[in-house]
Amino acid sequence: MAGIHQFLEAMLSNEASDLHLAEGHSPKYRVYGEMVPTDEPPLDRDTLRTMLEEVCPPERWKAFLESSDLDFAYSLDGRARYRANYYRHAGGLGAAFRLIPSRISTLEQLGMPTILKDLAQTRNGLILVTGPTGSGKSTTLAAVIDFINANFCRNILTIEEPIEFIHMPKKSIIIQREVGTEVRSFGEALHVAVHEDVDVVLVGEMRDLETIGLALTAAETGVLVFGTLHTNSAPKSIDRIVDIFPVEQQAQIRTMLADSLRGICSQILVRTKDGKGRVAAAEVLIRTAAIASAIREGQTNKITSQMIAGKNMGMQLIDDSVQELLDAGRISGETAYLASLDKERFAKFSPTTGG
């Protein structure tokens, strides 16, 4: 059985984005979005435990044994960084390693909508980047933060678990705090951020009521807040934020969100037509008076039509982005069908119709 460093090295040579290790299973890579098996035998507990403990700081390993879940970043001889997630499952131990690109890409290099640069220049409010796990949210946010860092004099704070992209100060001051090491929770870091004279805050994950509530409060009080959610559309992102609060608080939260929201970018990564890469498809919502009114009144079902009407402002639906990629020959019809939300729009490309 190869050692953990050999698997991490192989990720670089195989252009893999992820390495999956699970007790009772053979190691597998994810390459251009597809799971690829290795010829290695299934991992037994002792072998996997040794591999995982080798690259984990002792105090974090102790924390994992107590909590059964751990996120941290690991550097391979300064040549590559990985986001590691350790967990327990019914069959024993497991881990996933995600390769963090060594350089921060620009929004242009990522093929993201240019309107994100306009949003990045906002002085306050809430901007969300949403999408499923592995959709490139962290990469997009790193590009946005780097754009601000390179072009404006701001005091930037990132709160992450773990810290993925390392930002060097350019025009801005940039402080990065890691949950679990420098601070105990996202909520704790946000609570003290308002006393640190920050202009921009990146919240790595808005996953609980306390964090979301503090992020909304910070956005209302003059801070530009970036956050992520695991939702696949702009309207669902709004519903997710509101629904996490008790019913008696939801009217107040809708008002706060209507006032503070500046924009939402929902994205997915889809396999390119040649099978040698992935490309982002993105949905963009920009706050308008009509959209703010729909949020305030709890009528998120009206937001999609408002986004269609706001195309000249830079708004677009995820299916419009998928259509553009299809028309440009960058993705196949089948990929477009599988990635779309409106299946009828791409029905002729369904695998079951032979399109």
In one letter, which amino acid is 166?
A: I
Per-residue pLDDT tens over the stretch 90-116: 999 999 999 998 889 999 999 999 999
Pick the CATH number of 4-100 from 3.40.1190.20, 3.30.450.90, 2.60.120.380, 3.40.1440.10: 3.30.450.90
Q: Are 268 and 232 in contact (CB under 8 A)?
A: yes
Query: What is the predicted pLDDT for the residue at 36?
Result: 95
Per-residue pLDDT tens over the stretch 45-89: 999 999 999 999 999 999 999 999 999 999 988 788 999 999 999
In one letter, which amino acid is 258?
A: A
Look over the chain and give the mean of its residue pLDDT values, rounded to a whole number: 94
Give the C-alpha separation, 189 to 182, whole Å.
Answer: 9
Task: Tell me which H or E stretch contains 334.
Answer: helix 333-339
* Tokens 């350089």 -> residue: 103
Mean pLDDT of 186-200: 89
Query: What is the predicted pLDDT for the residue at 355?
Result: 53
In one letter, which amino acid is 183?
A: V
Give the C-alpha separation, 329 to 320, whole Å.
Answer: 14
pLDDT at 3 over 80: yes
| Domain segments of the chain as ranges | 4-100, 107-316
In one letter, which amino acid is 336?
A: A
Q: Are 74 and 82 in contact (CB under 8 A)?
A: yes
Candidate from 1-10, 65-74, 142-151, 165-174 with smallest mean pLDDT: 1-10
pLDDT category of residue 207 using cuts at 50, 70 and 90: confident
Residues above pLDDT 90, as percent of the chain: 88
Query: What is the predicted pLDDT for the residue at 1?
Result: 60
pLDDT at 297 over 60: yes
Residues 6+ apart with CB under 8 A from 88: 68, 69, 94
Q: Are 97 and 11 in contact (CB under 8 A)?
A: yes
Q: Is 91 helix (H, G, I), strand (E, B) or coil?
A: coil
Per-residue pLDDT tens over the stretch 222-249: 999 999 999 989 999 999 999 999 999 9
Give the C-alpha separation, 157 to 161, whole Å.
Answer: 13
Residues above pLDDT 70, as percent of the chain: 99
Instruction: Lay out the sheet containing 69-76: strands in order across.
Output: 34-37, 28-31, 18-22, 92-100, 80-89, 69-76
CATH superfamily of domain region 107-316: P-loop containing nucleotide triphosphate hydrolases (3.40.50.300)
% helix / strand / coil in the chain, to the nearest 5?
40, 25, 35
Mean pLDDT of 152-175: 96
pLDDT at 205 over 90: no
